[in-house]
Amino acid sequence: MTVPDQPEPLIFDLSQPGRGGMALPRVDVPEGGDVEDLLPAAALRQAPPRLPEVSELQVVRHFTRLARRNFAVDTGFYPLGSCTMKYNPKINDELAGLDGFAGLHPYTPDAWAQGALRVLWELEQALCRITGMAACSLQPAAGAHGELAGMLITAAYHRARGDGARRRVAVPASAHGTNPASAAMAGFEVVEVPADARGGTDIEALRALADERLAALMLTNPNTLGLFEENVAALADLVHAAGGLMYYDGANLNAVVGRVRPGDMGFDICHLNLHKTFSTPHGMGGPGAGPVGVRAGLERFLPGPRPVRRDRPGEPGEAFSWEDLGPDSIGRVRALYGNFAVLVRAYAYILTHGGEGLRAVSGHAVLAANYLKMLLADALPPAVDRPCMHEYVADGRALRGAGLRALDLCKALLDHGFHAPTMYFPLIVEEALMIEPTETESRQMLEAFADAVHAIVAEAARGAEASAGVRQGPLETPVGRIDEARAARRPVLRWWPEA
C-alpha cells in the first residue's frame, strides 16, 4: 500500500478568499422578483455560508488524497464478516447514473416517470420471487430500517387481530445488535434465546417462551455464526402454534439466494440488506436500502406508497403509478421513492446475473468461506465445527499461544494489505473473529490472506520482544494504533473554524 506521509489539511484550511471552481448553468426560469416574497424574512441568511473557497483542482486532489488513505474494497481484500464488503460491479453505477434515472426529479408526474416506476415495480416483483414473499416495500433505507418496519408491521398485525397483549419478541443471543434494538424501538420487550451446542437457536428455550405473550421470533438464517439453522421448520411451527410471527433478518441471504427462500422456510416477514446480496453500497443505517417483504395476508400493513401496474383500457401496454396508502399501512418510513439510485443498482445486479447467476453467487460465497476455514484451521479454528455458510466465526483464543489477541492480529493484517475481519462479534464467542471472504474473491487471494495470518502468528511466536511490531501495529498505515475507547467515547466529529 502506498502511504502518503503528510497529514491532509481540512478543505477549509485550503480556502483562499475569492477562489472558486464552479460555473452555474444559465437560469432557465424567469429571474427577478423579491426573494422576501418567496421566503419569510426569518428564514433568510444574514451572512454568506462559510464554505471553503477552493479551485476544482484543489477539490480533486484533496479528495483523491483522502481516498488513498482509506482502505476500500476496490483496493484490497476486505473479509468483514456480517457486513459483507463485496465488490460492487461498476456497471451498476453506470446504469444508476443514466440521465433518465439520475436527473429525475422526485416530484416528476407519474406519466413522465414511467421508466423509473417500472424499475421499482419490477424490482419488487423480483425480490418477491427471490424471497417467496407475496409483496414488498422498497422504502426502508437500510437493513436496520427494514427491521424496524417489519417490527411495526408485527405490531400492526397483532393490533388488527385485537391481540395487543403480545408484547414480547424473542431474539437469539447470536443476533445482530440491530435486531433487539429494532424490536425495542417498535415498543416490544426483547427476550433473548440462547444458542444450543451446535450453534443454532435452542429450541427448548424457545418452547418456554412460546405463549400468548410472544409477538414474533426474529431469526437470521444463516445465523451470525455463519451456520444454517438446522431446526428452522420446527422453530416456525412452534412460533406459529403459539400465535406469533416468524421474522427473517435477510441480511445473510447472500448465502442461500437461489437455493432456499424465507417464504418456503415458514417466515411471515423478512427484510433484505441489498448491499449484502445484491451488491449495492452499504448505507450503514443510512443511504442504503433494506426492503421489507411479507407473506400473503399481511400486504395491507406494508409501508408505502408502492408502485402499481395497471392496464390501460383501450390502449396498448400498461401504466405505472403510486398506490395510495391504505388505512392499515404502517405509513411512510422514507420520503418519496426510497433510495432510488441504490435500488437501480440492485436491479441491475439481479438482471445481470439472472436466476442461475444468483444461485452461483451463493454457491461461490459458501465455497470460499469453507475453503478459508480449512486453510486457517490451525491458527483460527472455528468456534463451532460444522460446515459454514458464507462466513465463519473463529475462536481467536487459539492466538493466545503466540501471545496475540484477536485485536493484534486484525491490526497486523493491515500492514499486510488486508482489511481486518469483524472482531469481537458475535458476543457469544470469546475473542471472536468473523471472516466473510465473499464470492467475488479468487482462490489466490484467499490463500494470500491465509499466508498473511500464518506469517503474523509465526512472527508473534518468536517472543514478545522480537515481535513487538506485531503488537504495536499497524505501522504502515496513515493512522496507527489509536486509543479505541477514547475514539468511541469522545469522538471529535465537527470542525469549528474558531477552534
For ligand PLP, the closer of residues 280 and 467 by Cβ is: 280
Question: What is the rounded CA–CA span in Å between residue 337 and residue 339?
Answer: 6
Helix pair 143-160, 178-185: axis angle to 10 deg = 40
For residues 126-145, which are near ligand PLP according to CB under 6 A? 142-144
Largest CA distance in the chain: 84
Please report whether residue 176 would count as binding ligand PLP according to CB under 6 A. Answer: yes
The contact mask relative to ligand PLP for 178-217 (x = CB under 6 A, - = no) is x---------------------------------------
* Amino acid of residue 463: G
From 244-252, 409-417, 460-468, 486-494, span contacting ligand PLP (CB under 6 A): 244-252
To the nearest whole angstrom, how small is the minimum distance from the Cβ of residue 82 to ligand PLP?
A: 4
Question: What is the rounded CA–CA span in Å between residue 309 and residue 311?
Answer: 7
Question: What is the rounded CA–CA span in Å between residue 11 and residue 213?
Answer: 55
For ligand PLP, the closer of residues 119 and 142 by Cβ is: 142
The contact mask relative to ligand PLP for 276-305 (x = CB under 6 A, - = no) is -------xxx--x-x---------------
To the nearest whole angstrom, how small is the minimum distance from the Cβ of residue 440 to ligand PLP?
A: 17
To the nearest whole angstrom, how small is the minimum distance from the Cβ of residue 196 to ligand PLP?
A: 19
Select the residue whose beta carbon is closest to ligand PLP and give its number: 143
434 Rama sector, left if φ>0, alpha if ψ -120 to 50, beta otherwise: beta
Please report whether residue 438 would count as binding ligand PLP according to CB under 6 A. Answer: no
To the nearest whole angstrom, how small is the minimum distance from the Cβ of residue 289 to ligand PLP?
A: 9
The contact mask relative to ligand PLP for 246-265 (x = CB under 6 A, - = no) is ---x-xx-------------
Q: 420 Cβ partners below 8 Å, 6+ apart?
A: 80, 409, 410, 411, 413, 414
Please report whether residue 390 would count as binding ligand PLP according to CB under 6 A. Answer: no
To the nearest whole angstrom, how small is the minimum distance from the Cβ of residue 292 to ligand PLP?
A: 12
For ligand PLP, the closer of residues 149 and 251 by Cβ is: 251
Among the listed residues 137, 139, 174, 220, the single contact to ligand PLP using CB under 6 A: 220
> Could you write out the DSSP letters of every residue in 242-261?
TT-EEEEEEGGGGGTTTT--
The three cell numbers locating residue 252: 445473510
Q: Please tell me whether residue 463 adopts helix, strand or coil conformation.
A: coil
The contact mask relative to ligand PLP for 66-95 (x = CB under 6 A, - = no) is ----------------xx------------
Confirm if 426 and 174 have CB atoms less than 8 A apart. Answer: yes
Confirm if 292 and 268 have CB atoms less than 8 A apart. Answer: no
Confirm if 156 and 380 have CB atoms less than 8 A apart. Answer: no
Confirm if 184 and 175 have CB atoms less than 8 A apart. Answer: no
Confirm if 202 and 194 have CB atoms less than 8 A apart. Answer: yes
For ligand PLP, the closer of residues 220 and 362 by Cβ is: 220
Q: 375 Cβ partners below 8 Å, 6+ apart?
A: 446, 447, 450
Among the listed residues 221, 273, 277, 467, the single contact to ligand PLP using CB under 6 A: 273
User: Which 8-state DSSP code applies to residue 382?
Assistant: B
For ligand PLP, the closer of residues 221 and 329 by Cβ is: 221
Residues that bind ligand PLP (CB under 6 A): 82-83, 142-144, 176, 178, 220, 224, 249, 251-252, 273, 283-285, 288, 290
